[in-house]
Amino acid sequence: MDEIPPVLLRILRFLLERRMLFQLLEPYEWWLRRKYPNPPLPQFSYQVTIHTIRNLYGRRGKIAWASLFFPSEFFHAARLIPFYPEIAIGLVAALRFVQTPLAAAEKAWFSQDLCSYHRGGIGMSLLRLFPRPDFLFATSSICHGTVGFFEVLREIWNVPLFLVDVPKQWTRDAEGYVAEQLTAIARHLEREWRVHFVWDKPFFFSNRTREILLEVEALRQRKDRMLLPPTKNLDYLPYYYEFLGEETSLRFAERLKEELSKPSKTLPHRLIWLHLKPFYSGELPALLEKLGLGVVYEEFTTPFPEELSPSSPLKSLARKILWASEILATSRGRIPGILEALKRYDAEGVIQFTQWGCRQSQGMVMLLREKLLEAGYPVLFLDGDHLDRRHSAPEQLRTRLEAFLEMLEGRGSS
């Protein structure tokens, strides 16, 4: 499925540009809702996907593309439709279609050494398969590659780019600086594009979702329940980012809590998962499950620890942006956070699937390994690519996971 003939691509592009075609999904959505009045999580996710496709390709509003750590509440408050290309490309990979956009980007001189989330987004844009943006929003928060990625998107789509520069240290002064930039962007949107911000509803949904996700975290700390297959929670990333601030995420969180409300099958080993995972195949989660390596916490699904305040919305969002940068992209914030999570979840060790093109995580491997081993926790760094299967080596992966398992079991018996 990875290689798509050009004629099929043209047909696909033709269909994706027909807005009316996607309006036809409305009766289908209605029928799904009637058939499954209280859908389980997979059916719920399916319905959300259909609805999102109708919103985006049916162009039911202005579309704002955003980098992963630009808070979605900003867009929901402005009644813009958020689209996170770094998340969407994961879905494209899961549909086994990602090699085509990756090849398109490489053909346009974007090297294989760049982050494949970004390269894939560039490829989907060059092929005009992602929905056309009206605006682009990015932060320099956790990775500077994002800035380059969004500059390329601006060039391809020829639409305004709003870039928020995020200082590398979280100080009161930095909060003011980020909040000022957000204010300037909001004012520009109000003035030039007649966008009107209403914060109460998205902040209510975001705060309520956060409360339930904290309950989910508490449930995951219990030894008699586990989300399976391991790393499954990373498939739900859109609910933690794109839909946060609308009812969808709240309903998801309620379902997730419901799923964890009763004791369930568990695996013998409790681990923490860092960074993301390969989305192009289910081989890795299946292997982890087979080896009894359960995942109880993923750093990318950690909810923001504070409530968002509708009385100072942009300051709240500035704090959220700086928090993400601090806990994911600085060793002084990330490493203590991981050590604390290891204790809180009573986890035995850590696995990171290090993305080939991710400079910020590659650069932290040395520091992370040293600090975790010093604290007595085994750590496994798997190398590869989350999207580009050309960098995958399944047998090597198996060998390394088996060796890690032996190490964990050796520690348990000693």
Partner 1 sequence: MCTLGYFCRYVPQELLEACGFKAVFFKPDFSSPQCSSLPVPFCALCKTFISWALNHREFSGFVVPLACDASRRTYEILRALSVPAFSLDVPALAGETAVERLTENLDDLARELLAQSGRSFLEFTASLKQALEETLRQQEAFFREWGKRRRAPDRIPLLFSGSHFAHVLLPLLEEKGFLVFPDLPENRILLGEEPLSLTASPLEDLARFTLHRLPCPRLSGPARRTALKRLCGTLGLRGVVIVFSKFCDFQLYEIGLLGRSLGLPVLCLEHDTTPSFPQWETRLDAFREMILHG
Per CB under 8 A, the segment of 77-85, 165-173, 282-290, 398-406 that binds partner 1 is 165-173
Q: Say if strands 81-83 and 135-139 run parallel, antiparallel, or are unpaired.
A: unpaired
Residue 186: how many CA atoms within 13 Å on its side-chain side? 22
Note whether 339 and 372 are within 8 A (CB). Answer: yes
Site for partner 1 in 123-142 (CB under 8 A): 140
Among 168, 223, 290, 390, binds partner 1 (CB under 8 A): 168
Closer to partner 1 by Cβ: residue 281 or 360 = 360
Report the alpha-carbon distance of residue 298 to residue 257 in Å, rounded. 16
65-104 footprint of partner 1 as x/- string (CB under 8 A): ----------------------------------------
Q: Say if strands 269-274 and 161-164 run parallel, antiparallel, or are unpaired.
A: unpaired
Quick one: which of 291, 293, 203, 190 has its CA closest to 250?
203
**Other CB atoms within 10 A of residue 205 CB:** 22
Verify cis geometry, omega within 30 degrees of 0, for the bond prior to 37: no
Quick one: which of 305, 379, 304 has its CA closest to 347?
379
Among 363, 390, 399, 406, binds partner 1 (CB under 8 A): 363
Is there binding between residue 352 and partner 1 (CB under 8 A)? no
For 375-386, give the DSSP string: TT--EEEEEE-S
Q: Residue by residue, what is the 3-state secondary structure of 131-151?
A: CCCCEEEEECCCCCHHHHHHH
Is there binding between residue 113 and partner 1 (CB under 8 A)? yes
Is there binding between residue 165 and partner 1 (CB under 8 A)? yes
Per CB under 8 A, the segment of 57-65, 93-101, 128-136, 168-176 that binds partner 1 is 168-176
Site for partner 1 in 263-282 (CB under 8 A): none
Shortest distance in whole angstroms from residue 237 CB to partner 1: 21
Shortest distance in whole angstroms from residue 389 CB to partner 1: 17
Order across the sheet with 81-83: list the strands.
81-83, 63-66, 135-139, 161-164
Phi, psi (5° rounding) for residue 134? -95, -30
Shortest distance in whole angstroms from residue 319 CB to partner 1: 18
Is there binding between residue 148 and partner 1 (CB under 8 A)? yes
Shortest distance in whole angstroms from residue 248 CB to partner 1: 31
CB-based contacts of 85, cutoff 8 Å, min separation 6: 65, 117, 121, 124, 125, 130, 153
Among 360, 392, 394, 405, binds partner 1 (CB under 8 A): 360
Closer to partner 1 by Cβ: residue 113 or 200 = 113
Is there binding between residue 152 and partner 1 (CB under 8 A)? yes
Is there binding between residue 173 and partner 1 (CB under 8 A)? yes
Is there binding between residue 122 and partner 1 (CB under 8 A)? yes
Is there binding between residue 163 and partner 1 (CB under 8 A)? yes
Is there binding between residue 383 and partner 1 (CB under 8 A)? yes
> Under the rule (CB under 8 A), what is the footprint of partner 1?
105, 108-111, 113-115, 122, 140, 143-145, 147-149, 151-152, 154-155, 163, 165, 167-169, 173, 177, 180-181, 184, 329-332, 354, 356-357, 359-360, 362-367, 370, 383
